[in-house]
Each structure stands twice: as C-alpha cells, then as structure tokens.
Amino acid sequence: MTTDEAIAQTMQQLGRDAVAAQGVLSNSSGAQRSQALHAVAAALRLQQAGILAANERDMSAATAAGLGRAALDRLQLDAARIEAMAQGVEEIAALPDPIGATIAEWTRPNGLRIQRVRVPLGVIGIIYESRPNVTCDAGALCLKSANAAILRGGSESHHSSVAIHDCLVAGLLAAGLPAACIQLVPTTDRAAVGEMLARMTEFIDVIVPRGGRSLVARVQQEARVPVIGHLEGICHVFVDRAANLAMARAIVLNAKLRRTGVCGAAETLLVDAAAERTLLGPLVRELLDAGCEVRGDAAALAADPRVKPATEADWHTEYLDAIIAVKLVDGVDGAIEHIARYGSQHTESIVTDDAATAEQFLTRVDSAIVLHNASTQFADGGEFGMGAEIGISTDRFHARGPVGVEQLTSYKYVVRGSGQVRP
C-alpha cells in the first residue's frame, strides 16, 4: 500500500466515523452539547502545561525553519491565549441552542401546519493554517451547532493542535458524546487535503477554508463539496463631502491601524473630490503621522510630500499592513464605482452626515457588510453579537458575512396534517 492509499483509507474511515458521530449529535440535546463545551474549557485550563509544551515543540521547529515574525506570532500560545480559548468556548456554550429552533411557521388554507426548523449541516471539514486556536474555535462552533467536525490544521501547528484536540475529546467524552464528533486529521501530508476536497463527498457536507490566498485558491480549484469561502478583504472607507472631520479621522485611523492584519482592516481610503481641501489633506497627514505609509493618486501626492505614488496594483491590494491607498473620487457615485471595480465585496464604510448620501451608499454597494459612520474593523462575528465566528464569508451562497453557529445550520420542513391528500 502506498502512502497515498494509506491516507485515502485513513480519511475514508474518518469520514465514516464523522457521519456516525453526527447522527448522535443530531439527537443530542443543547444541554448535553453545552455540558461538553464547559468540559472542554475545563480541560484546556487543566492541560495548560501540556499544551504549552506541545506549542514549544512547534515554535522550535518553526523558528529553525525560518518562519517569519508574523507567522511565529500567529503560532505562539501562552497562558493568556489558552485562557482566551477557554473563555471563547464558554461564550459559545452560553449561546442559545440553534438546533430545533422554529425559523418560520404558517398554516395553509387546507389546514396543513408548516414549520421550518433548524437542523445541523452535517459534517464540516475545516482546513486551516498555523493558528492553533482555530482547532478550538472551529471544533467548539461545530459542536454547538451539532455538526461533526473534521479538522485539518497546518503542519507548523500540528503538536499544538493535537494537544488542544485532546481537550476537545475530553469534553465530548465527559458529556457522553462520541470522540469522533470532532476529529483531527492525524497526518500533515498534503494529500489529506486533496482527499477532503474531492474524494469525501459522501461524508463531508461543507468545507470551510481558513487561511491565505494559496489555500483558498486550492480549495476553490479542487473542491467537489460546497465551500464557505473567505476571500480577501479589500475594504474601503469613503469620506463624503458632508463628513465631520473629527469623526472621519477617528474612523479612518481605526479602520486602517487598530489591527492591520485582520480581513476587516481598511486598505483604501476614498475621499470626495468636493472635500479635497478640507478633508483629504488632514486625513493623509494624520495617517502619515501615525506611521502609516500612504500611496496616493495625484491629489494625495499634492497633499503631503511623504505620500508615495500609487499604481494600478495598489487599488487591488490587501496590504494587511500599515499601508493605505488613497484616492480622490467624484462623490458617492465615484466611490460606489471604484468599490464595484476594485473591491472584494467584504466590508465598506461611508462617513457622512448626509443621510440621503449614506442610503445611496448602503443600498448600492454590494458587499457583505456596509457601514455608515463606523469603522470597518467591526466586521467580526463577536462584534455583531453572534458570539463567535468561523470566518467572514465573501460568498453570496448560503452564508454571507460573519459565519457563526446559525450559519452552520440548515433547515427542514415539518408538516402536520389531519389526513390531507393533494387534489
């Protein structure tokens, strides 16, 4: 048997076990799943030393392999990060049980009573990279929504993920649920990803990729199962002529610089040409003074000698860094046009005191999240009050925007009659 055959066999078995475990989850109570989540949190705290030791092994190997600073930071765990994971699991436990909830109900003229009732999606495959906390977050979100999870983490974080996964299993067993409700792919061979994407259609109902462009591109290319996609966030802030300068300044700085590595960080600032003198200059200077590199069009270049010239590529770029592209546009129409052309339909914000202009923007910009007078960095399931999220979907299909427990469900129709037959 070749390695690939062995991996294929392993993955098929994982798939069968996931389906069987999901059957148990479908008939579990919300209380039982909450109990399991609380036990997971307890196990994470109890196993802190073991998790840190495993993480240390990953960190040493990654350092030796020459991983960059940002990647090492994503990989590293400490006591505070483990406590944050445990608290995250407890927050998910405290969310209302989505399963069995009646989403809609109505009665037909013939007396049939129809209910649309929330059910799990089934088996969810999550493919991610170096952040070990995804093992915990994704497992907990799937468990809450009664989905079985097959987790495939990055090879850099494998030891950390195994240690965290042990805590997930401990929690499941403590609540009398099968360990196979949350499985971690035991091999770091990339062939396992290929199996999940293309040869487990019988077992996996949906794939959630979490990672950079190359991972997402591979998933979109190879997947034979539905995908909840998370593409890049080329987010825009448009400052309209009727914006209040102080508010615009606060929102632009927060949207760009609060955290530069998140998908909801602003990458492009659009300023209304009618406010070139009053708003463009102050905003550009403020960004530069805060340490942000500014790449601008002719108007931005004229505003401050520190501005560098923007090229066409800049309008397409998700910097994920302290760099911003700045452009003057012809009012809200110009902003909408620019966003339609260069945006990634993730998150865009307008700053204006003009309610009619704001409505124009909110209605016509076709992004998962559109904001008026608020920072793009609110693009986050927690900030939306959804408790936690498995990512921000840039798809239009099934789920759009933050993907929380509710977005990890499907529904079925329950119809109650009294002997009705169809004429």
Footprint of a second copy on this chain (CB under 8 A)? 26-27, 100, 106, 108, 112, 114, 119, 121-122, 205-206, 220, 224, 226, 244, 247, 250-251, 253-255, 258, 358, 362-364, 366-375, 377-378, 380, 383-385, 395-398, 400-401, 410-422
CB of 303 to a second copy, least distance (A): 23
Q: Which is nearer to a second copy, 200 or 371 (CB)?
A: 371
In this structure, are residues 288 and 294 in contact, taking their beta carbons and an 8 Å threshold? yes
State in angstroms the smallest separation of the CB of 87 from a second copy.
17
Q: Give the nearer residue to a second copy in terms of CB position, either 67 or 371.
A: 371
Least distance CB 264 / a second copy (angstroms): 9
Nearer to a second copy, 204 or 301 (CB): 204
| Closest approach of a second copy to the CB of residue 189, in Å | 25
Containing 76, the helix (H) or strand (E) segment is: none
Q: How far is CA 232 from CA 220, 228, 288, 320, in A?
A: 13, 13, 25, 10
Least gap, CB of 71 to a second copy (angstroms) = 24
Comparing CB distances to a second copy, the nearer of 84 and 162 is 84
368 φ/ψ sector (left φ>0, alpha ψ -120 to 50, else beta): alpha
**Cβ nearer to a second copy, comparing 160 with 268:** 268
Q: What is the DSSP code (8-state) at residue 28?
A: S
C-beta closer to a second copy: residue 127 or 301: 127
In whole angstroms, the minimum distance from the beta carbon of 414 to a second copy comes to 5
Strand 123-128, strand 206-210: pairing: parallel
Q: Which residue from 380, 365, 333, 378 is spatially nearest to 88, judged by alpha carbons?
A: 380
The DSSP secondary structure of 228-292, one letter per residue, reads: -------EEEEE-TT--HHHHHHHHHHHHHS-SSSTTSEEEEEEEGGGIIIIIHHHHHHHHHTT-
Query: Which has the closest alpha carbon to 285: 315, 256, 307, 254?
Result: 307
CA–CA dist 12, 419 (Å, integer): 43
d(CA 41, CA 21): 21
Give min distance, CB of 278 to a second copy, in A.
Answer: 18
**Residue 189 or 406 with smaller CB distance to a second copy:** 406
